[in-house]
Structures are given as structure tokens and as C-alpha cells.
Structure 1
Amino acid sequence: AYFDEATECPIAAYRARGDRVTFVAELAANWARLRNEVPEKRKVALVLANYPNKDGRLANGVGLDTPAATVHVLKILSEAGYFVSNPPENSDELMQAILKGPTNWLTDRAQKTGGVQMSMADYQIAYGQLPYEVRQKIEERWGAPEQDPFYTPGSVDCGHFALSVLQFGNVIVGLQPARGYNIDPTDTYHSPDLVPPHNYLAFYFWLRHQFGAHAIVHMGKHGNLEWLPGKALAQSETCMPEVVLGPMPHIYPFIVNDPGEGTQAKRRAQAVIIDHLTPPLTRAETYGPLKELEALVDEYYEAAGVDPRRIDHLRREILSLTSVTGLDQDAGLSGSDEESDLAKLDAYLCELKEAQIRDGLHVFGQSPTGALERDLVIALVRVPRGDGTGENASLIQAISQDLGLGFDPLDADMAAAWEGERPDVLAAVSDDNWRSTGDTIERLEMLAIELVEGRADVCGNATAKVMQHIESTVFPCVRDCGLKEGTALLTALSGHFVAPAPSGA
């Protein structure tokens, strides 16, 4: 801005920055290059996260079975005409291949073979092109490239960096390097001021310059590149995400329920987000000691009415098992009032059994099938949607309404004794005790399963409207997810526009 004498006010004039114009032009040119290249010749890098930096956490992604997803993406690319040579048959084979080569775990890295190498000479050429300010910060924190523990000196040459990369024709699978070494990875993964070490730069330099990637795909939430030091948005040539990635087309499969962190990758690493489905959901139910404990609690309340002599024995057995399993603390038992503690335990077990939990992980490009699909659909319609009426009503509430149970199964005291109606259709779904409100809710859930599977007749108008919505909308949407994920990835890799998904990303 400058001060204008005539108007006596500051005048702000926007001017383009030459280096930003250059970067945007190069990025656009690389997307055009990607679009104009035939699939068979496109080179794609699939990068897997590793947080914390231990071999037991290779290829981790929130809600994503990243190894299985990577194998499936290799299959998708191969079927789409990409040159994919000798891909792994399954996720175990992929993980074993990664573990044979160098990883981020320094302890036994020297004994491992495999991966690819970037010579120090090639590294120095790429490194020397970085702004002086960037090189100064890196060397102040990590020293010279030769001091990097991931560097191996050469006996007849200048040595090399060993990189965790598996090559399958024109598609590679690489393990994203750690943000540093001899540091706490948990505390530094999102550090706003920790510059990456030389081996980190070497990995991305190799992808860009030696391999010649047309596009980089980071598999799943989330890697660490978008958290490197630099501005929050409108990156400059000294911001580390741009230093590392350059004007590279960047594609990022990301879990649909976290658009906030996906936006970080869009703003700071020019990412095209490909939303993927969350893991399937299901009821937690009870098992093992919890199932045994639930049976004892039911037996206790039955004995209270027919065999009071067993009450003391059952009470001691229940509280002992509760203490051994640690549930006394989880359920908030005081230990001073046994009757009150038993009531709390009963309520806790009911709530625990009805809790919604993940049932495994999602595989990118695949929709859940069988029981996973069924349970996910029920979870999606378990609560009201939209205006909560008609087809948008809760399936469980609709069943309760049609059966005239006179209570809200989504807002009830599960431990309370059930004194309402006991329709035959609910009595038929289970031979278990029907003692509490929680037992009634469990039977409603079981009837919902039979309805969704087509093994029971619709019990009224409210239920019929929700079931029609399930058949016409919910099932088709869930079944289309896998195909649409794979299609969106191929669309991005062909340099075309990917429409925003429901998360807005």
C-alpha cells in the first residue's frame, strides 16, 4: 500500500509475485502433462504413512486398511491400463516386501537390503537448487547430508541414501520418511517448526527427479508432509511442503468424516482429496467375561424373585468378576453400596452392548458386503436424519412406534425394569432373558437386522417408510461407494476434475 496525497488515504494495489506465477503455471502444466500422457506411460507413486515411526505401525491410516487398499489400488490401476509389473497378491505379501527393505526404524536398518538408492551426487544436485534460506535451516538442525544416519558412505563413490521404495513397473509403493531421527515422533509429527532431514528430502527428490513421477498419491489420513513448517496457506518457495513436493499433482484418499484435516492437505500441499468411506459400524454386544458377567447379573435379578438364598453368593461372584476385569472402575462402582453398584453395573453393561463400534477397517475402492454392509446400513438409519420424519425417521424408533411400545429406544434408562408390552414379534427374535429396557432395545435391534435382511415382515407404516428409503437410497449409496472411490482416483490421475463429495472436500 502507498499513501495517496490527493485522496489522503492509503491505496492498496495487488501485484502478482513472479515466483508464485511460475509455480502455479508449472503445477497447471504438470496436471496437463498428466492428462495428456497415456495410462500405460503414467508414473504414479503410492506413498504410505508410518506413525509413530516403528515397523509395527507401517502403512497406518485412520479407518483405512492401507496395505489392503494399496494392493487393491494397484489392481485398479492395472485394470485401467497402467503398467503394473508383478504386484503383490495380498497385503501380507506387500508388508513383508516393505519389511525386507529399509524402513524408518533405525535399529536394524543397516542389515536390511532392498528398496532403491539415491546417490549423494544426485541428491546434491537437487539439494543445491533449494533456496539458501531453506538449506541453512536444514543444516542448522540436521547438519550436512553426510551426517544423516540414513546415508551410507560409498567405498568407490560418494555414497547414497537407501529409500523404502518398492517398484512395480510404472507404479511404486514408498514409505514416507520420518520427520526426523532421535526425536519423539509423537510430539514432533505435527511440529510447526521442525524442518525435515536430508533423508526425507532424498525420498521426494527421488520420486520427482529419478523416478519421474507424474503424480503422487498419499494413501490415507494422514501423512506428515502437509504439517511441515511454512505458512498456513498461500505457500512460498521457502515453505517446506512446497520445497519437498514441488509443483507435483498430488492426490490424497482421505476418510470422509474429517474434512478439516483434509483441508490442511489441500491448502498446504495442493492435494486433490478423494473421500473414502468410514469403517463399517456394528453393535459392540458382549463377549468373553462381559458375556459371563451379563448372564450372572440376569441370574441375580431372577434369583431375587424366586430364590433369595442365592443372592449373596451371586452378588459376591459378580463383584469379584467385576473387580478382576477392571469394570468396577469403568462402571464407576463405589464399593460401599452393593445394591447401588449392581444397578450401575447393569446399566453399564446394557449401554456397552448397544454402543456403536468399528467392525474392521475400510478398503479403498471396495464397498462392505454381507454382515458388514447390513450392520453399516442399520447404523446409518439407527438415528433420525434430516427432519427426522417419514423416511428420515430412526428405524429403531419407527419399529417401537409401530409395535406400540410407548418409549423412545434412543433415550431410555436401559437398566430400568421393562414393564411395557411384549409383542410376539419381539419375543420370537431371542430366547434370552427379557428383563430390562435394555433387553427390549436389544430385541428391537435384532428385529431391525431381520427386516433389513428380508427375514421379517414390516410391522407398520412408520417402519415401512424407513425400509423403503433403505432399499431405494441407503443400500445403493453404500454399494456404490467402492466403485466411486476407485473411479474418482482414476479421474484425478487422468488430470480431470473430481467433484466434491458429501464432506465438502
Structure 2
Amino acid sequence: MKITITAVSVPALRQIQAFRKRYEQQYPEDDLTIVCFYVAGQEQRYVLEPERIIKDIATADVAVVDTMGASEELQEIVAKGLEACKGHRIVIGNALRDYIRLGSFSMGAMGKMMKGSGGKKDSGNVSGTSGTDGAEVSGNGEKKSSAGALTKMHRMRRMAMMMGNVLPFGVTRDMKNVFLLIDYWQQATRTDMESFMHLILRQYGGRKFLPKEKPCTVEYGVYLKDPFSMETWDTPAKFWKKAAFDSQRETVALLFYGHSYPNDFLPVVQALAEKLGERYNLLPIAFSQNEDGDLKKLRAFLTQKKTPVSAVVNLMPFRLGAGPMGGDAVQAVEILKELDVPYFKPFCLTRVSGEEWERADAVNPGEFLISILLPELDGGILTFPVGVMGSGSTEGEEPVFPQLEPIAERVDIFVARLSRRLELRKKKREEKRLAVIFYNYPPGESNVFGGAFLDTFASASRLLEGLKEAGYDTEGRFPEELQEVFVTGGHCNLPQWCEEGEDGITWEFEGEEYPIRGICVGNVFLGLQPLRDPEGESGDPGRYHDRNRKPSGEYQAFYHWIREGFQADAMIHFGTHGTLEFLPGKDNGMTGSCWPDQLVGEIPHFYYYYIGNPSEAMIAKRRSLATLVSYQAPELKKSGLYGDYQELREMIGEYRESIQSAPERCGDLLLNITKAGKNCGFLEGDSGENCSEKDLDLLEERLYEYENSLITDGLHEINETELNGLVYGLDGGYVPVGTAGDVVKNPSILPSGRNLVQFDPRLVPTRTACERGMKAAQLSVEAYHEKTGTYPDTTALILWGLETSRSQGETIGQILYYLGIRLKTEKSSYDDRLEVIPTEEMDRPRMDVVIHICGFFRDMYPNLIDNLNAMLRQILRLEEGPEKSYFTANTRKMAEELQRSHPEMEEREVWDLASCRIFGPKEGEYGTRFTDIVRKGSWKDAAEIGSSFTEDLSYGYSFRRRGVKAEEVLAGQYDHVDFISQVRNNVEYELTDLDHYYEFYGGLARAVENKKGSKPVMLVADTTGEAVKVQDLKSSLERGIATRLLNPEWIQGMMRHDYHGVQQIAKRFENVMGFAASTDAVTGETFSRMTRCYAGDEKLRKQMQKSNKWAYMKMMERLMEASNRGYFEATEEELSQIREAYLEAEGEAEE
């Protein structure tokens, strides 16, 4: 008899291995062959050599398969073996469940039984361990337990057991045995696995001489379990009689799996329990085989008045109360709110060894989702690994299966960080010492205390006042006082912080004395984050973002002083964003060798972050171990019309009236309207013809768009809600979570002041986002077809973490449209939501795409990268002709080129590389050098911009590759690009408001032009309104410049904030320059209007020079640079205005 076991469960495999040794000793003459494949850590090996695993499964009398979490490729390989297997087939988990066949029972029979008993035909998950099929998703993305997979699974199991007991023969006996075998497998104790084998061998292998199987040791629900003695209790009162509760100690609850499937967490649980037990009362709560009443029981355990809990540590993956089979995460969060204690979420890495983890750049996508992202939705903090798989070997006849081991250093630092957080609950406010950190990047007097949408000086002033009112030992400071300290006199750039003769803060670090640039106001330190690499700031721009370059000595000394010199009780980074979270180290799952982890140390870390930037917020949360506290954007208002635009509207109104009242005036009015329309940039051409009725409609449409565009009204100042959120966290309480995103489209993300989390990536794209993205793509294709008479071969798109989080997947919707993919109409599991549309159902060819991602998208949405690659593979398998699928045609062409240029490459690798369509920065990097090049004005010609973009974003993310250099393939794809598209999905940002727009969109445009020798069509999909619109880039830029940068209303709002207002305006000048350099879409007239507005208006000029002369000088430098580079032909008067304004500001600066 041959039994082939293909599994991810180490405990089960280890017990099977031990059973085989005992069996061979006890029954040496029995012809029993047991073949084991451990596939959790050996996937790639079996993917590359699939023949053996397929053969051994196919020839088995009994095939046992447990591939929970395995790759699609491995599932396909195992499926081939199961299809060919004539024997019994036992499948644990959701994947491949339809292959179950034991005796006369099969999943088809189960489906018929369920249908006959009133259930749905879908057989559901028979194990309750993995997958999401059958789980009903509620409006907020949580799975409901009442009518979901959890209830269905319990119902199926009860029915199977009942019928098997009543009719212990035939199909009902076999159905009961399936569930019994799964129970044994999931417990994986010696007794259970012995019973597992005895049941198979006795009932399906004819070994009647073997002992009958024993009842399963499974424990259901939630219970108290000593992780050392294994003793269990059903109430805390009984437990504390044995554990001896110490009323002088705080109590920490430790949540963990009570079973050992698919991995035995016990060694890590014991390590944590031992360390925690040295300082606290430990309440060990075990979970096994989820039941509907678990959360009520958990609440009862955690809310005992006589033994109050001060912290909850959860070592289990997924959301609390909502595992892979669903549940009620909302109720679990309510329990956490009621407890109001910190909720800690360390985790274990179950698919890599310690050595592999040392080399890895990040947690793998599957474990990232269940161990980092989903727990964050509950408010989990300190999400880093404390356990990892040990070493093992599957070579030889006696393989050594690895098991989870604690990472001793991580366990120690976790307990130390937990202790420091709990100290916040005990220490009086007036005794707490707080370090508040502000930024100065790019370095210089113009950018001190920078922060997205934030008047940071005013906010810092409010923070001091609020802390004082809350009882902290500090004093208030006016914004002007703080500006005087940190800006005036250029102290931020002097080698020493203080003027000669003044006492300043210094700190010796590694034998060198460093200035600590900041001030102490009572027990609150306000400091400037040092430059991470001073040489990189003044030299090669690439050095500043070099993830292999450690921070400067001053940078290290600064954080060392906060920890050891100032002895801060908490650290607060203020505003979006600093550089700590971008220091060298892993993308997530931080280790002791990661620089952010080292510099934060044990100190509780809080971070004020902009509510509308989910992508960068998550990097800050995960890489710097921060509890985020959100702040809002400024209020919005309508742009209105001014100057030429107001005059044009009045002329059109006068013309409409004159048609009836004074038709003789219409000709002159049309002539003036035509001139005004050209002056406003709405009409093109030099002919003397007056505008037509169609032109008038266009003008009115553009004026309406401009007038009703929403603009930000100045900058935000930290409000009471946001201050209270921070103070609440500093008190050691549970900071409730709030989704980061678009406040206008989703007001429910308010109020601010909460711990920011990202939208659940499993729900991206939402159906609404997909439909809007597809509409944008349809309009883009129609615009291109109308212009050229052909369909575009390839579209290039920018896929951002920011846009994806805020729109919930509109760009994904575009990509799906171009490729001919759609969301399934019926409910599906998270990873099975898409399907390829047959070309017969489309009225166009299947197009090709080039997708450029940023590092934030890579880190936030690894599941979407996998899903897109999986769909590309499906399309390729259709083997469609070149006239039907441009994607397939281009892939075949690239494969032929790769085979010629790389004959040594295996065919599998050739096709994987040829079909790669997702390109981004290498692992550990997030963007490009383009913004630094523009900031420093260091490019010699436009081609240099495109080359740097291609070089920085030419790392392929394919089905098999992650961040591998693929410039040859990318260049080949650029040859086919006909147009590029960028989604603008939120009203807070016009294209000219954010440098990343020109960095990615502009850089891509120049890169494609470099390769093709001609400009691609450049389109912008504007989804800010109810109706999706598609515009050319030039029109979109002109709207942003007209409604904001040149709009008196917007300027007035900014200038209310003096220093920071000019700071923000200067950034827009830089962004305009970036677009001019990369796309040639900024007209000379635009630069002339900027000159007239900011250099020619004496009142505004004087106000800006007084408020922030350093930023104003940079604005004038940009205008002069634009003239020197030929972006506009400045008149002598304009040049004179620029020079005079610059010299005035320079004189002020020297004073």
C-alpha cells in the first residue's frame, strides 16, 4: 500500500515520520510505503521539478493533500496528480477540495446532500482552515459569521458526524471519516496522527489488526491553556487559583492557537510567555476551531474586574475574531475599545527559515496580508516577527522538517517595547518627557518645519498649549517665536546650533560631539530631524534615497540623545513626512539590523500623519513601528473666476444677450471673445476667424469647470480632535483606527485623530472603482480612436499606492478594461474575483499595457501584483491571434528576441520575462531620482530625464520575479506605447500640487519618447467628479495652474500662513518646472503669467519676501531657469522683474 502525503503542516509531517519508524519496527514485513513532500518551504523546487510529485500522487492508493497558502503553480501541479490518482484522495483545506474522494464519498455527493437539506450546492470549506469561499462579505468588507462560511462549515460537520453515527456504513461512514481525518490532521499530536493513520490503514487498507482510532483531542472555541504544562481551564477564576495572581503586577493577555495546524507555535508562545511572565501576570488564552460564541467568551475572559488586563498580545494571524473562514471582526474591535488597552500584534514567519529571512527584503505577500495588514485593521501595533522557521532538509530518506523557533532578540525587544508602552499608563502626565521631531527637507531656511497641507509652526504652538492644558510640564510658544528660533539667522544650517557664546544641546556619540538642533520647553523637546546624509544633499541626489547608505553620525546621535540623553517616554514625528521610515532596512517586518528599528529603540512612537496619504502613511507605520494619529487637509472651496476668465465669461454673456437685443454688436463681441479665449489658453490657432458656436460651448464648459473646481483654502492647523487623539495614545490607551483616504468621496473616514490604516487590499478593486476606471479607459480609447482612426497597441499607466488606496482601484479598472478582464458577477473568494473576457464579446482587440508601480504600491498591494500576473498568464494560455490580442502578439515577439539574445535561458523563464508588464523600483526603493534632478536643476538635456526614469523603474515584477532588472524587456514594451494615462482622483491635489505627478507621469512620457523618437498621446483621467472625464495633459495642467497657482483666492489662502504659505507656493513652481522639463506641456504664456503674478505684483512680492524670503528666492530662480532653458521667451521687462525681485529677497536674506 502506498500513501503519498503532500503538505504544508510541519507538525503533521513530523508525526507521520515518527509513525512510519514505529510501524516499520513493529510490522517489518508489511508492505507499506509512505512518501512525504513538504511544500511550504520547497515550492520552487517542486515547481521546477514537478514530475516526481505528480507521479507519486498519481500512483498512490491514498493521496493526502494539504496545500494551504501554496502558490497557484504548485496547486496546478498537485491537481494533475490528483486527477490521475485512482485511489482515495483526502484534501485538507479549501484548495483542491473538489478532489476529495474517500470510499464511496466524494465532494459531488456532499453537494447533493447539502442541496437536499436546504443548503446551497457549494460544498463550502470542509476544514475551516483556509480560503474564503462561501463567506459573505458585508458592506465594510468584513465577513459575516451568521450566514457565512463559518456557520456553513459547522452545519456540514455536524450533519456528517450525526449521519455517520446513525448510519455507520457506506457513504455516510466515509463522509464522517473525512471530517474525522481532518480533525486529526489539524491537531497533529502523536495520538491524533496515530489515529489518522490507523483509520486509513484499518478501514481503507485492510489492516484490521491495527488498534481502532481514538477520539480526537480537539478542543473547540476559546479556553485558558498553560503553554508549558498544557493544562486547560474554562474560567479565569479557576486559572488564577493555579497561577497565583499577583495584585502588585499588571496583567497581560496572550492569545495563541491551541492547536498545531499548520504550524506549531508553541516554542514561540513559550518564549513570549516566559519573558512576559517575568514582569506581569500572564493570562494565556488559546483558540481552537472557531465557534460562533468565541468572542463572547473572550470578552468574559478579558473583562474580569478582579483581574483587569493592561495589554493584549495576539500571536495569531488574521483579524481578531475573523479568521480565514470569516467571523465578526467588528465585534472584536468593540471589545478592544471597551478594554481600552494597547493591542500588540507580533507574528511568526512560517514559510522562510531564519537564514532566508536575513536575506529577504520583506515579508512574503501572503504572510504580509494575514500577519501585518489585517491585524492593523484592528488597531494592532508592533507588527514585527518574533518567530521564524528553523533549518531543515528534505533530502535523503529521513528528511528533517523545520519547526517554528523564537527569534530571541525580537522577543526581548518586543517585551521591552510593550513595557515602555505600559509605563505610559502608569506615569503621571507632568512627569512624562516627550520628544517632538520636525523636518527640514530639502534642507535650507525655506523648508523648515515642512509638512503636507500643514501650517506646522502654528500646529506646534497649538500642541504645546494643548499639552500644557492636559497637564504636561511645558509652556506655550507663539508660532512667530518658534519660527524665530528655528529659521531666522539660518541656525538650521549652521555647523553649530546656537550662536557663539550661547549654551546649546550637544551629545557625544562614537567619540564625536554633535549638536542637537532643538529646544526644550519644560519636559517637551522640539527638534529638527538631521539630514540623513549631508553629502547626498549637496552632491549626488541619488545618495539621499540610497537604502544601502547608513544615516549620518549626527542623525544617529540625535536619536541616541532622545533615547539616552533626554530619556523620552514617547517620540512624536510631526507631519507628512520625515526620513526615518526611509532608512535602510526591510520593507516591513523589521529586524534589529534595520535602521528605523534601531533608532526608535524601545520608545513608544507616535506620528502625526495626513489622513489623505494612505501609501506613505503605511510605510511610516510599518517601518518606524508608529501609532499614527491622523490630521485633516485644509477646508475646500470653489475656485471662482478672476481676471481674464471673469472678463471672458462676461463677454460671452453679453454676446448671448446681444443676439436678440443688438445683433450688430455680435461680430465685435465674437472677435473679443476669440482673443480672450486665446489669452486664457482655451483656443488655439493664429487664424483671424472668429470662434464658432461650438467654440463658445467649449469656452463656457471650460469656464464652468474652472469656476467650480475645488481648491484648498490655505493650510491645516492641528485641531482639538487631533490633539486629543495624540494625548489619548500618550496615556497608553487603545487608539481606535480610521481608514486613510479621500475625505470628499468618503466622509466616513472622519473624524481625524485616529490611528490610520489602509483600505483592505483584498477588496481592491471595488466594483464601483472598477466601473469608473473602465469608463475612464473606454473614454481614453475612444479619444485615441477618434484622433488616429486606430486602436492603441499599448497603453502605459502609473499605478500608485496613494491613488489605489484613495480610489479603491480606479487605475486597476483601467488596466482590466485594456486587457479585456472583468470582475465576476457572482460572489467569489478574494483571490478569484476576475475573469478574462472572450474577444468575441469585445468590440475591439485585447490591448497591451505597461504598468509602472511605485515602491509604495509594491509594499501595500502585493496581492494585486500577484492577481494581475495570474490574469496575464491566463490570457497567454488562450493563444489568441495577433489581430485579437496585442498583448499576446507582443509577448511572442519579445520571447523570440529573448531566445535569440539569451539562448542559455530556460523556456519557462523566457516566457515569464516576455510576459512581464509590471515594472517599478528595485526592492527597498520607492521612487526615482527625477525629483532630485529637478530640485537641483542638474539635467543637461531632456533625454537625460527619460534615461534616469527608465533606469530607476526597470525592475520587473512578474509571475516568478520580484524586483529583477528587466530594462531590455521594458525598452521593448516602450516601442509599442501609443498613449499614457494617469488618474487624478482627488480634489486636494491638482497635477501641479504634488511632485510625484511629474516624477512618474512626466518621467514616463520622456522615457517613451526617448525610445520611440516621438511623443505618445498624453491623457489624464479625472475621476474627482461624479462624471469621469478624460483630458489631454496640457488642459489638465492649465486648469491646475489657473485655479490654484495664479488664482488670487488660492494665493490669499496660502498667504494667511506666511512662512509656510510661501513654502508651499515655491513647491508648485518646482512642480511646474518638472512638467515643463518632462512633457513640454507647459506653455511659455504660463511662465509669463507666473512672472507677472509673483514678480510683477509689488504688494504680493513684498509680502512673500517678508514671510519667507528663502522660498521666494527659489521661485525667482525657477522662473529664470525656465527662461534660460527656453521654456518661455521672457521679455526684457519680465527678466528685469525677476532679477529685481530676486535681489530684493537676497538683500533681505543677507540682513
Q: Give the alignment's TM-score, normalised by structure 1.
A: 0.62
**Which of the numbers 521, 542, 557 marks the counterpart of 1:202?**
557
1:307 corresponds to:
662
User: CA distance change for structure 1 residues 189 and 5 in 2, over 3 Å: closer, same or farther?
Assistant: closer
1:139 corresponds to:
none
Question: Which amino acid in 2 is paired with 1:498?
Answer: V
CA contact under 8 A between 2:474 and 2:523: conserved in structure 1?
A: yes
C-alpha distance after superposition, 1:214-259 (max 9, x if no partner): 1111111111110111101122222111232222211011122222
1:448 corresponds to:
none
**Which of the numbers 629, 633, 641 marks the counterpart of 1:278?**
633
* RMSD of aligned alpha carbons: 2.9
Q: Secondary structure at the residue paired with 1:11? A: coil
Residue 115 of structure 1 deviates from its aligned partner by: 8.2
Q: Secondary structure at the residue paired with 1:218? A: strand
2:548 corresponds to:
193
Question: Which amino acid in 2 is paired with 1:27?
Answer: R
1:47 corresponds to:
437
1:291 corresponds to:
646
1:74 corresponds to:
464
**Which of the numbers 6, 15, 22 marks the counterpart of 2:405?**
15
1:178 corresponds to:
531
User: What is the alpha-carbon distance in structure 1 between the residues aligned to residue 502 and residue 666 of structure 2?
Assistant: 66
C-alpha distance after superposition, 1:292-328 (max 9, x if no partner): 332223223333443344334334444444555xx31
Q: Secondary structure at the residue paired with 1:174? A: strand
CA contact under 8 A between 1:205 and 1:244: conserved in structure 2?
A: yes
2:997 corresponds to:
none
Residue 363 of structure 1 deviates from its aligned partner by: 1.6
**Which of the numbers 729, 736, 740 marks the counterpart of 1:499?**
736
Residue 7 of structure 1 deviates from its aligned partner by: 7.7
CA contact under 8 A between 2:636 and 2:713: conserved in structure 1?
A: yes
C-alpha distance after superposition, 1:359-411 (max 9, x if no partner): 122221x2xxxxxxxxxxxxxxxxxxxxxxxxxxxxxxxxxxxxxxxxxxxxx
Question: Which amino acid in 2 is paired with 1:494?
Answer: D
1:489 corresponds to:
726
User: CA distance change for structure 1 residues 108 and 173 in 2, over 3 Å: closer, same or farther?
Assistant: closer
1:381 corresponds to:
none
CA contact under 8 A between 2:520 and 2:526: conserved in structure 1?
A: yes
User: What is the alpha-carbon distance in structure 2 between the residues aligned to residue 37 and residue 101 of structure 1?
Assistant: 39
1:161 equivalenced with 2:514 (yes/no):
yes
User: CA distance change for structure 1 residues 161 and 96 in 2, over 3 Å: closer, same or farther?
Assistant: same
User: What is the alpha-carbon distance in structure 2 between the residues aligned to residue 41 and residue 224 of structure 1?
Assistant: 29
2:591 corresponds to:
236
CA contact under 8 A between 1:104 and 1:178: conserved in structure 2?
A: no
Residue 5 of structure 1 deviates from its aligned partner by: 7.4
User: What is the alpha-carbon distance in structure 1 between the residues aligned to residue 492 and residue 546 of structure 2?
Assistant: 18
Residue 500 of structure 1 deviates from its aligned partner by: 0.7
C-alpha distance after superposition, 1:7-54 (max 9, x if no partner): 855623121122212221221122122322211111111111222222
Question: Which amino acid in 1 is paired with 2:527?
Answer: G
CA contact under 8 A between 1:115 and 1:166: conserved in structure 2?
A: no
CA contact under 8 A between 1:46 and 1:172: conserved in structure 2?
A: yes
User: What is the alpha-carbon distance in structure 2 between the residues aligned to residue 231 and residue 313 of structure 1?
Assistant: 68
User: CA distance change for structure 1 residues 487 and 295 in 2, over 3 Å: closer, same or farther?
Assistant: same
Question: After the TM superposition, which of the residue ranges 255-264 and 177-186 deviates more from structure 2?
Answer: 177-186
Matches within 5 A, 1:91-102: 91-100=479-488
CA contact under 8 A between 2:637 and 2:713: conserved in structure 1?
A: yes
Residue 111 of structure 1 deviates from its aligned partner by: 6.4
CA contact under 8 A between 1:190 and 1:224: conserved in structure 2?
A: no
CA contact under 8 A between 1:100 and 1:113: conserved in structure 2?
A: no
**Which of the numbers 105, 111, 116 marks the counterpart of 2:504?**
116
Unaligned ranges ≥5, structure 1: 126-144, 146-159, 367-481
Question: Which amino acid in 1 is paired with 2:714?
Answer: G
User: What is the alpha-carbon distance in structure 1 between the residues aligned to residue 699 and residue 450 of structure 2?
Assistant: 36
User: What is the alpha-carbon distance in structure 1 between the residues aligned to residue 472 and residue 575 of structure 2?
Assistant: 21
Matches within 5 A, 1:360-375: 360-364=714-718, 366=719
User: CA distance change for structure 1 residues 113 and 51 in 2, over 3 Å: closer, same or farther?
Assistant: farther
Residue 82 of structure 1 deviates from its aligned partner by: 0.3
Residue 163 of structure 1 deviates from its aligned partner by: 2.8
User: CA distance change for structure 1 residues 10 and 297 in 2, over 3 Å: closer, same or farther?
Assistant: farther
CA contact under 8 A between 2:533 and 2:544: conserved in structure 1?
A: no
2:477 corresponds to:
88
User: What is the alpha-carbon distance in structure 2 between the residues aligned to residue 77 and residue 288 of structure 1?
Assistant: 46
1:37 corresponds to:
427
CA contact under 8 A between 1:118 and 1:202: conserved in structure 2?
A: no
User: What is the alpha-carbon distance in structure 2 between the residues aligned to residue 168 and residue 498 of structure 1?
Assistant: 26
CA contact under 8 A between 1:30 and 1:249: conserved in structure 2?
A: yes
Unaligned ranges ≥5, structure 2: 1-390, 741-755, 758-1151
1:409 corresponds to:
none
Question: After the TM superposition, which of the residue ranges 338-347 and 34-43 deviates more from structure 2?
Answer: 338-347
Question: Which amino acid in 2 is paired with 1:65?
Answer: D
CA contact under 8 A between 2:597 and 2:625: conserved in structure 1?
A: no
User: CA distance change for structure 1 residues 48 and 310 in 2, over 3 Å: closer, same or farther?
Assistant: farther
Question: After the TM superposition, which of the residue ranges 350-359 and 336-345 deviates more from structure 2?
Answer: 336-345
Residue 342 of structure 1 deviates from its aligned partner by: 4.1
Residue 281 of structure 1 deviates from its aligned partner by: 1.5
User: CA distance change for structure 1 residues 233 and 311 in 2, over 3 Å: closer, same or farther?
Assistant: same
CA contact under 8 A between 1:255 and 1:276: conserved in structure 2?
A: yes
2:577 corresponds to:
222
Residue 165 of structure 1 deviates from its aligned partner by: 0.3
2:337 corresponds to:
none
C-alpha distance after superposition, 1:400-452 (max 9, x if no partner): xxxxxxxxxxxxxxxxxxxxxxxxxxxxxxxxxxxxxxxxxxxxxxxxxxxxx
**Which of the numbers 706, 713, 735 marks the counterpart of 1:359?**
713
Q: Tell which has more relative contact order, 1 or 2 (C-alpha 8 A, sep 6+).
A: 1
CA contact under 8 A between 2:536 and 2:544: conserved in structure 1?
A: no
Matches within 5 A, 1:414-493: 482-483=720-721, 485-493=722-730
CA contact under 8 A between 1:115 and 1:164: conserved in structure 2?
A: no
Q: Give the alignment's TM-score, normalised by structure 2.
A: 0.28
User: CA distance change for structure 1 residues 318 and 161 in 2, over 3 Å: closer, same or farther?
Assistant: farther
User: What is the alpha-carbon distance in structure 2 between the residues aligned to residue 257 and residue 113 of structure 1?
Assistant: 45
CA contact under 8 A between 1:60 and 1:66: conserved in structure 2?
A: yes
User: What is the alpha-carbon distance in structure 1 between the residues aligned to residue 450 and residue 536 of structure 2?
Assistant: 20
Aligned-residue sequence identity (percent) comes to 28
C-alpha distance after superposition, 1:56-85 (max 9, x if no partner): 222121122222111111111101110003
CA contact under 8 A between 2:674 and 2:683: conserved in structure 1?
A: no
Q: Secondary structure at the residue paired with 2:737? A: coil
Q: Secondary structure at the residue paired with 2:603? A: coil
1:442 corresponds to:
none
1:251 equivalenced with 2:606 (yes/no):
yes
Q: Secondary structure at the residue paired with 2:548? A: coil
1:65 equivalenced with 2:455 (yes/no):
yes
User: CA distance change for structure 1 residues 267 and 3 in 2, over 3 Å: closer, same or farther?
Assistant: same
CA contact under 8 A between 2:425 and 2:732: conserved in structure 1?
A: yes
User: What is the alpha-carbon distance in structure 2 between the residues aligned to residue 101 and residue 12 of structure 1?
Assistant: 62
User: What is the alpha-carbon distance in structure 1 between the residues aligned to residue 434 and residue 525 of structure 2?
Assistant: 7
